[in-house]
Structure 1
Amino acid sequence: MKTKDLIKLIAEDTRRPVNLRLTLLAAITGGASIAAAAFFSAIGFRHDIGQAIETVRFVFKFFVTLSLLATAAALLAPVIRPGQDPVYRRWFLLTPAALLLGAVVLELVVTPSNLWATKLVGQNALHCLTIIPILSLFTAVPLFLAMRQGAPENPGFAGIVAALASVGVASTLYASNCFDDSPLFVATWYPMATVIVATVGYFAGKHFLRW
């Protein structure tokens, strides 16, 4: 294409620029609302949530899941804008892992060693590995559609970020139903569910977010 033809095409493009931040906010809010509706219609809170919310272990789960949601959501816009993804921001994604590591160390100190395996295995491992990925879909789909409005330099990583934000929503919902509150359980099974969704997100990003 000749330069004058390119200039002509640019001049004729009268489309209003897309506000990526608002588009992403609408996608994650809408997706989270749908995920919440599905969660409460099919599962809902654990029956003893009134007592559970008074315990440190139960509340701590939400510090982990919401920190994942917050750090991933903060990266959504930068990763789909070429040249606007400072590498240092990616390190914030380790915040949930750091929280879990500290909690696990404390749990090992205060819990008798003969109970470690029981608390790690828990009673809801299979639920965790299935419900979190399923709920993640409700947020991931609108997020991927919104992110196609951008131009990620690394589509695979952009897909991972979208997946992590979706897991943040899904795991927050699931945590309110899960009876296994031990950091040993949370540090084992929640990350496994996250890896499943992040892996799918990577390949989906490579396919759907490339430009």
Structure 2
Amino acid sequence: MKTEDLIRGLAADMRPGRSLEGGLALGVLAGVGAAALLFALILAPRPGLLPLLAEWRIVLKFAVTLPLAAASLMLALRLSRPAADAGRWALLLLLPVAVLVAGVVAELAATPPATWRSDLIGRYAPYCVSLIPLLAAPVLGALLLALRRGAATRPAVAGAAAGLAAGGLAAAIYALHCVDDSPLFMLAWYSLAVVIVTAAGAVLGRRILAW
């Protein structure tokens, strides 16, 4: 059987019923709902959060994490279809990266060098690195189950994209609690936490999304 015939067969034999897009949307809702419940059980929004949303450093957290999650979801969706071109969605991942880099540059320009180290280390780095993956766990599980309806030809890559999306969503939820607002902190510790979730997605995706 030729590769093209195999791909066409996979596309025709994708699991019937709810569309892949609909299943992924339900997966997002279920995963975020479970993460929000977990957040309510073990954490709480930081005091005075609403007035603080006028502060650009806090807005930056959501301006990075939410577009990262959105682009990663679309990438995971494309990767779950045989022979789909995912290049443009992969390029969209550069947008949140550029926003974060711009935030870091602005922070370095606005603060004296003597504060950079303390801003980078922050106060609650261990909590950030552990709690974001914890909040991401139900999101990642729901996304991988939803993506099983597809036919990913590169299951590890599709799983990594799902992990990146779960990490972005979990980081946005954790940002409601986080009091470390420096973009330097976000660059170091939010990024590390999201990388951990992405790696977990790749490992799990290799098994769960394989056909």
Q: Same fold (TM over 0.5)?
A: yes
Amino acid at match of 2:180: D
Q: Given the superposition, is the C-alpha separation of residues 76 and 112 from structure 1 closer, same or farther in structure 2, using an over 3 Å criterion?
A: same
Name the counterpart of 2:138. Answer: 138
**Number of residue pairs the alignment of both structures matches:** 198
SS of 1:85 mapped into structure 2: coil
Q: Distance in 1 between matches of 2:84 and 2:120?
A: 40
Alignment of 1:100-111 (within 5 A): 100-111=100-111
Amino acid at match of 2:210: R
Name the counterpart of 2:166. Answer: 166
- CA deviation digits over 1:109-150, x for unaligned, max 9? 111000000100000100110000000011111111111111
Name the counterpart of 2:191. Answer: 191
SS of 2:93 mapped into structure 1: helix
2:94 is aligned with 1:94: yes
Amino acid at match of 1:187: L
Name the counterpart of 2:76. Answer: 76
Q: Distance in 2 between matches of 1:76 and 1:158?
A: 5
Gaps of 5+ in 1: 1-12
- TM-score normalized by the length of structure 1: 0.89
Q: Is the 8 A contact 2:123 2:180 kept in 1?
A: yes
2:60 is aligned with 1:60: yes
Q: Is the 8 A contact 1:24 1:76 kept in 2?
A: no
Runs of 4+ in 1 over 4 A off after TM superposition: none
SS of 2:92 mapped into structure 1: helix
Q: Distance in 2 between matches of 1:122 and 1:96?
A: 22
SS of 1:142 mapped into structure 2: helix
Q: Distance in 1 between matches of 2:42 and 2:104?
A: 31
Q: Distance in 1 between matches of 2:114 and 2:62?
A: 27
Q: After superposing the two structures, state which structure 1 stretch, 177-186 or 66-75, moved more.
A: 66-75
2:157 is aligned with 1:152: no
Give the RMSD, CA atoms, in angstroms: 1.5
Name the counterpart of 1:9. Answer: none
Name the counterpart of 2:22. Answer: 22
